[in-house]
Amino acid sequence: MFKKAAFLVLLVLSFMACDKNDDDQAQQNTPVSVGFLHSFYEDEVSVSSNTIQYTNGFGTSLSITRLRYLISQVSFTNQDGIKTLVKDYHLVDLSQDNSLTINDILLPPGAYNLKMRFGFTEATNTSSIYPDLNAASWNVPENLGGGYHYMQLEGRWLDPGDTPDEPYLYAYHTISAVQNPGPENTREDTSIEIDLGEITVTQGATQINVNMRIDQWFENPNLWNLSELNGLLMGNYTAQKMMQENGQNVFSLASNMGD
């Protein structure tokens, strides 16, 4: 009993001693969250569904049954050029609400340039080294270059000439582009740097939203014909390069609200 009392008295003294520093720290850093939103042209995409409700730039109707993608190297650079890396990598899964926001970011108020990367760079895309991604079966087999997926976008699509109750399937999977799939393959970095421009962190909670325009994966600059490119894309070097080109303008800042 005496030990408990003594411990708590010490705790009181510690609080008193640390109080000034705590207050200073609280003024310096403020919580920041980065949320991930998704849209298909003007439509918000908030849940995966097998309902065929979107039409891509090629004119193909499709559904989105699964969307997972990897963001890495999330960094804030202040106006003095000091870069703060806040997240090494983050797996976004449309079906998991808790994956749609990166929390636990603390930054001093001010203006920053926000950058992140779609996928892993070649230097960080090392097979098997991320336990949580291994458990999520996010790996790419060695014969396809190894490392990890960048994105899994899946669903069904309709050929206008077919009966509407028998859609086809697509698995738009992006990885490092690989040449010569097999034991002698060579891999090429197709990750995409995302420069979201300037954001302002204000005192209090700051929510930053990043929007992925899913429609752009099928359109700009390569109009995507799902009847030709719908599956088995991981080992298709040309398709991976086209995906990389289409991904250049997929992400943008949706809003920057200080609460």
Partner 1 sequence: MTQKILFIFCLLCIAISCGEDDNENQGYSPTPVNIAVPAIFSQLLPPPEIPINNPLTQEGVALGRALFYEKKLSADNTLACAGCHKPNQSFSDQRRYSIGIDGIAGFRNSMPIVNIAWNTNNKFNWDGSANSLEEQVLEPVINEIEMHNTWPNVVATLKTDPRYVTAFSNAFGTSTISQELVAKALAQFIRTLVSGNATFDNYLLGQATLTPQEEQGLAVFLDENRGDCFHCHGSPSNPLWTDNDFHNNGLDEDFTDLGLGDITGDPAQFGLFKSPSLRNLAYTAPYMHDGRFQTLDQVIDHYSEGLVFSPTIDPLMKTVAQGGVQLTPQDKAALKAFLLTLSDPSLASNPAYQNPN
Minimum gap (Å) between residue 151 Cβ and partner 1: 13
Contacting partner 1 (CB under 8 A), which of 104, 122, 142, 193?
142
Which residues are registered as beta bridge partners of 252?
Answer: 211
Q: Which two tokens stand for residue 121?
A: 């760079």
Tell me if 154 contacts partner 1 by CB under 8 A.
yes
Contacting partner 1 (CB under 8 A), which of 59, 137, 228, 259?
137
Tell me if 171 contacts partner 1 by CB under 8 A.
yes
What span, in angstroms and rounded, lies between the C-alpha atoms of 6 and 178? 64
Nearer to partner 1, 61 or 256 (CB): 61
Count other C-beta atoms under 10 Å from residue 10's C-beta: 10
Minimum gap (Å) between residue 40 Cβ and partner 1: 17
Nearer to partner 1, 137 or 184 (CB): 137
Contacting partner 1 (CB under 8 A), which of 26, 111, 232, 257?
232
Task: Indicate the SS3 state at residue 60.
Answer: coil
Tell me if 132 contacts partner 1 by CB under 8 A.
yes
What span, in angstroms and rounded, lies between the C-alpha atoms of 244 and 176? 9
Which residues are registered as beta bridge partners of 209?
Answer: 35, 255
User: Burial code of 129-151, b = ≥16 C-beta within 10 A, e = fewer?
Assistant: ebeebeeeebbbeeebbbbbbbb
Answer whether 246's CB lies under 8 Å from 221's CB: yes
For residue 164, say if its preceding peptide bond is cis, omega within 30 degrees of 0: no
Encoded one letter per residue, x for contact with partner 1 by CB under 8 A and - for no contact, window 233-252 reads: -xx-----------------
Q: Which region, judged by CB under 8 A, interacts with partner 1, from 76-84, 151-159, 198-206, 243-251?
A: 151-159
Applying CB under 8 A, the residues found at the interface with partner 1 are 1, 4-5, 8-9, 11-12, 15-16, 19, 48-51, 65-66, 127-128, 131-132, 134-137, 139, 141-144, 154-156, 165-166, 168-171, 230-232, 234-235
